[in-house]
Structure 1
Amino acid sequence: MVLTLPLALLLGLACLLLLASPWPYLAPLAFPALAALAVLYRKPVWGLLVMLALVPFEGLFSAADAAGGSSSAGFTLNKLLGLALIAIAALQLLLRQLPVRRLRSNLWPLLLAFLAFYMTSLAFSSHLGLSLQQLRQLAVGLVLFSLTVLFGRDLDLPALARVLVLSVASTCVVALLSTSTQPASRAIGLLADPNYFALLISVALPLALLLVVRAPRWPQRLFWLAPLLLLLAGLGRTGSRSGLLVVLLTVAIAAWHYREHLKYLVIRRLGWVILAGAIAVPLAPALLPDSFIQRLEVLASLKSGVKAYADTSLARRSAYVVVGSQIIAEHPLLGSGPGTFPLEFAKTGYAIAFSIRGLPVELYREAHNTYLGMFSEVGVPGGLLFVGLILLSLRNCQVARRHWLSRGDPERAALAAHFGLSCLALSCFLFFLSVPSHKYLWVMLGITSFLRLQADDDAAGERP
């Protein structure tokens, strides 16, 4: 009752401001927005789940590249949610409704050291405006990492897995429908590039497998098998060779993790395994575009070296490595400045050689390798600290999995294993895309540190 008058005044002020704005038709939405804000204050983790669920759909709301973390002018739902969560987190910390110790993470020392080198590189950048734009994009990831660590105790990881799988699988449906009329085209979902779409699928696949394996009954298992098959079909339609390599790696590691279950499956369910293979093998070529088959055949010619006439994509990636190596040799300590690789690449002859249509915008190309971009733009020390962040996050999942297995808790061990596989898929994909500010990346870093913290606290509670 004490808050009734302030809330009424706030609602009236919001309505008046909207009526006086160029969008007076939004005034009736003031009350639902205020109610949603009140719910979000009570359950901020719900806002985090909604933000992650909207990542595959960002192409609908923004013309910017959602996977790279850039944003267009104006407000989108994700931006509004992000600003609301930042305000709510700051207010709850100031009012001590959330203890500061919730921000604990073993990734902070490496992250702060990385940011120190990043800011120093930015200060000496010869293209300060571009570097500041890159910093703004990275700030989105840093905010998501902080929010994930802060609200980690309230985050239901199985619910997060369901949200990510359903959101990405639903865009796979859109992709399959769009490519059904154009069999030669590559699926992009609701994004701008098939490789970015393949990244989302690669992250969601281990979580879909978790939902299938840990389903309590056969009806639920069959239900989650449908999104898993959609993800596999969507990956095939992307025509992404890097996505295929990453998925094969994660499937191999998952098979090793479940080797005992696979032995039981082969021995006791051999007939079903043969039937599944008989159905999948004939259908697999039909789901793969002819262009994808041709691009896979090109990989067989790599033994004799990369030839530009055989595959321009591989030739361009070789050029990125050459240019990145030159930048590292010239600026080993602080790099050329955050976000400046496209400008450095445009100065070389490779930019003109690989310009497809001769347009000026095609001269400025990213490194298509997050690690190479970090080493060349931020310097060797900053690049090593970034790699250390990734390796420590993978180590966190490994330690958490071993701890829960030793405690006889297969449920938590499976969560640590599969979220670790998603983090591994993402870290492997960083070799093929320049996405240092990807939302999934920084959320996964926060989740892995929370899993490690849970395991460490549980182990400390066992000690006499």
Structure 2
Amino acid sequence: MTPPDLSGLLRFSACATVFAAPLEGYLLQVHGQLAKVAPALLVATWAVVRARQRRAPEPHPVHAVLGLFAVVLLASSALHAGGAYTLEYALRWLPFLLVTVVLIDVVARELPIRAVLAAAVAGAVVAAGGALHSIVALGETRATGPLEDPNDLAYFLVAALPMLVALRAPGRARTAALAVAATTLAAGAAATFSRGGGLALTAAVAWLLARRALPLKALAVAAGALVAVGAVAVLLFGPELDRALREKTHVAGTNVDTRELRWQAAARMLAEHPGLGVGPGGFRAGYPAASHNAEVDEQSPVAHNMYLEVAAELGLPGFALFAALLALTAVTGERVLRATADPLPVVAVQASLIAVVVASTFLSQQYYLPLWSLVAVVAAAHLRLRRTSDVACAPRDQ
């Protein structure tokens, strides 16, 4: 009996993993393990398919960096095995590293890059709809929807917005659908009142304009649509918006002070433990002591800076490898862009990665998928290009 072809399931599970990432909160409300179903299905299907094909992943420099990072992670975890959160956070890191390796291989071989971007946008649009619903129907002052923290939600929405550039195609229906998606994502991000999200989006749009991937006319139309949505919101929900702005203004000042405290604590941890850091989850466990109980009401926070938190928990070697992963992705993306005949997806991914890098200056986002999926897409695009070049250069039989 011929075994079933699982290539369709492999493509589906890859798209489902990317689609479901911003909807994690909704999935957890249904069942505590539901958010893990799509990634688990992806990894299991990939393992079966590759075992049948007797084919290993095509090597890429990203694999080496991820492998070394995993070694440092495990070494730090072993050194701090008695930590209150060490095992929990180590088990949060490892699936992202594994899923990145799997996505690189699947996108390089079976799944078009635009399909991955479309899945990410679709999931983010649903999340943005949830954000607007939380404002309009539930009366929240800042949009949350599928995620508890409005800043985390803004991170997903802003990371997805540049991807729309790669999905452009002729036809009024397609243009209208993209316009609706852009307006929904932008309105949802605005409803979070996230300043970091705003800075990240500004940086991403600047990159798209600089690379001439975003026409000024399209930007003007999108800005006009967002202004119109804002005007309607003011007319219908004026008092609620005023209250939300006042609350955000009050919270903003507090956030500046608390983030400064947390950044100082993370820097102090790194200075005291430069080798392998304080271990995965060590910032959360050690913050009260490192900050001298500066926040009595918050005893187990995040650093609100991805780079400082990684450095504090995994030391200088872990931070160096993490930074090398970002740098390698940036260099690889530029190399692909210069050689490819289809630049729009690459520019869109570059802009999304810029949004992720900027937003992560104010947020601890290493445990969310956008960063890892973007790294995977760039590496996969490079493998695709390398394979095409090898075929073009191969000698032909006369």
TM-score for both structures, normalised by structure 2: 0.87
2:318 to 382, 396, 402: 382
Cα distance in 2 between the residues matched to 1:260 and 1:198: 21
Matched, 1:83 2:46: no
Q: Which residue of 2 aligns with 1:221?
A: 175
**Cα shift readout 1:92-142 (whole Å, capped 9, x = no counterpart):** 3333x1521x34222012222222222221121163452111111112212
Matched, 1:245 2:211: no
Cα distance in 1 between the residues matched to 2:307 and 2:164: 27
How far apart are residue 244 of structure 1 and its match?
Answer: 0.5
Q: Which residue of 2 aligns with 1:138?
A: 93
1:423-434 to structure 2, matched below 5 A, reads 423-434=353-364
Q: Which residue of 2 aligns with 1:6?
A: none
Matched, 1:363 2:299: yes
Cα distance in 1 between the residues matched to 2:94 and 2:135: 35
Query: Are the counterparts in 2 of residues 126 and 336 from structure 1 also a CA contact under 8 Å?
Result: no
1:189 to 145, 151, 165: 145
Query: Are the counterparts in 2 of residues 341 and 376 from structure 1 also a CA contact under 8 Å?
Result: yes
2:265 to 315, 323, 334: 323
How far apart are residue 176 of structure 1 and its match?
Answer: 1.2
Q: Which residue of 2 aligns with 1:60?
A: 26
2:338 to 377, 388, 402: 402
Q: In the superposition, relative to structure 1, how do residues 221 and 335 fare at CA in structure 2: closer, same or farther (>3 Å)?
A: same
1:45 to 11, 20, 27: 11
Letter in structure 1 aligned against 2:157: I
Q: In the superposition, relative to structure 1, how do residues 51 and 315 fare at CA in structure 2: closer, same or farther (>3 Å)?
A: same
How far apart are residue 391 of structure 1 and its match?
Answer: 1.4
Q: Which residue of 2 aligns with 1:116?
A: 71
Q: In the superposition, relative to structure 1, how do residues 291 and 242 fare at CA in structure 2: closer, same or farther (>3 Å)?
A: farther
Cα distance in 1 between the residues matched to 2:41 and 2:222: 47
**Cα shift readout 1:302-342 (whole Å, capped 9, x = no counterpart):** xxxxxxx9711111110111111111111111111111101
Query: Are the counterparts in 2 of residues 121 and 378 from structure 1 also a CA contact under 8 Å?
Result: yes
**Cα shift readout 1:203-250 (whole Å, capped 9, x = no counterpart):** 110112332xx2112331122110100001001100111000000100
**Cα shift readout 1:257-288 (whole Å, capped 9, x = no counterpart):** 117954xx59xxxxx95x87666546546658
Cα distance in 2 between the residues matched to 1:224 and 1:345: 44
Q: Which residue of 1 aligns with 2:102?
A: 147
Q: Could you say what secondary structure the match of 2:61 adopts?
A: coil
Q: Which residue of 1 aligns with 2:279?
A: 337
Q: Could you say what secondary structure the match of 2:275 adopts?
A: coil
Cα distance in 2 between the residues matched to 1:99 and 1:324: 43
Q: Which residue of 2 aligns with 1:414?
A: 344
How far apart are residue 154 of structure 1 and its match?
Answer: 0.9
Cα distance in 1 between the residues matched to 2:378 and 2:131: 30
Letter in structure 2 aligned against 1:232: A
Q: Which residue of 1 aligns with 2:185?
A: 231
**Cα shift readout 1:46-90 (whole Å, capped 9, x = no counterpart):** 1111122122222122159xxxxxxx85x42x4334333333332
Worse overlay, 86-95 or 426-435: 86-95
* Residues paired across the two proteins, number: 387
Cα distance in 1 between the residues matched to 2:51 and 2:155: 37
Q: In the superposition, relative to structure 1, how do residues 348 and 330 fare at CA in structure 2: closer, same or farther (>3 Å)?
A: closer
Query: Are the counterparts in 1 of residues 158 and 201 from structure 2 also a CA contact under 8 Å?
Result: yes
Cα distance in 2 between the residues matched to 1:169 and 1:129: 37
Q: Could you say what secondary structure the match of 1:379 adopts?
A: helix
Q: In the superposition, relative to structure 1, how do residues 222 and 337 fare at CA in structure 2: closer, same or farther (>3 Å)?
A: same
Query: Are the counterparts in 1 of residues 183 and 222 from structure 2 also a CA contact under 8 Å?
Result: no
Letter in structure 2 aligned against 1:79: K
Cα distance in 2 between the residues matched to 1:399 and 1:372: 29
How far apart are residue 292 of structure 1 and its match?
Answer: 6.5
Q: Which residue of 2 aligns with 1:25?
A: none
Query: Are the counterparts in 1 of residues 125 and 181 from structure 2 also a CA contact under 8 Å?
Result: yes
Cα distance in 2 between the residues matched to 1:209 and 1:88: 31
Query: Are the counterparts in 2 of residues 233 and 287 from structure 1 also a CA contact under 8 Å?
Result: no
Tell me which structure has the larger Cα radius of gyration.
Answer: 1
Matched, 1:178 2:127: no
Cα distance in 2 between the residues matched to 1:98 and 1:168: 36
Q: Could you say what secondary structure the match of 1:457 adopts?
A: helix
Worse overlay, 278-287 or 441-450: 278-287
TM-score for both structures, normalised by structure 1: 0.75
Cα distance in 2 between the residues matched to 1:336 and 1:384: 16
Cα distance in 1 between the residues matched to 2:154 and 2:19: 16
Query: Are the counterparts in 2 of residues 40 and 47 from structure 1 also a CA contact under 8 Å?
Result: no
CA root-mean-square deviation: 2.9
The gaps in structure 2 that reach 5 residues or longer are 235-240
Q: Which residue of 1 aligns with 2:371?
A: 441
Cα distance in 1 between the residues matched to 2:137 and 2:292: 36
Query: Are the counterparts in 2 of residues 121 and 334 from structure 1 also a CA contact under 8 Å?
Result: yes
Q: In the superposition, relative to structure 1, how do residues 228 and 387 fare at CA in structure 2: closer, same or farther (>3 Å)?
A: same
How far apart are residue 462 of structure 1 and its match?
Answer: 4.5
State the identity as a percent: 23
Letter in structure 2 aligned against 1:162: A
1:347 to 275, 289, 309: 289
1:197-208 to structure 2, matched below 5 A, reads 197-208=153-164
Query: Are the counterparts in 1 of residues 306 and 363 from structure 2 also a CA contact under 8 Å?
Result: yes
Q: Could you say what secondary structure the match of 1:334 adopts?
A: coil
Query: Are the counterparts in 1 of residues 70 and 94 from structure 2 also a CA contact under 8 Å?
Result: no
Q: Could you say what secondary structure the match of 1:249 adopts?
A: helix
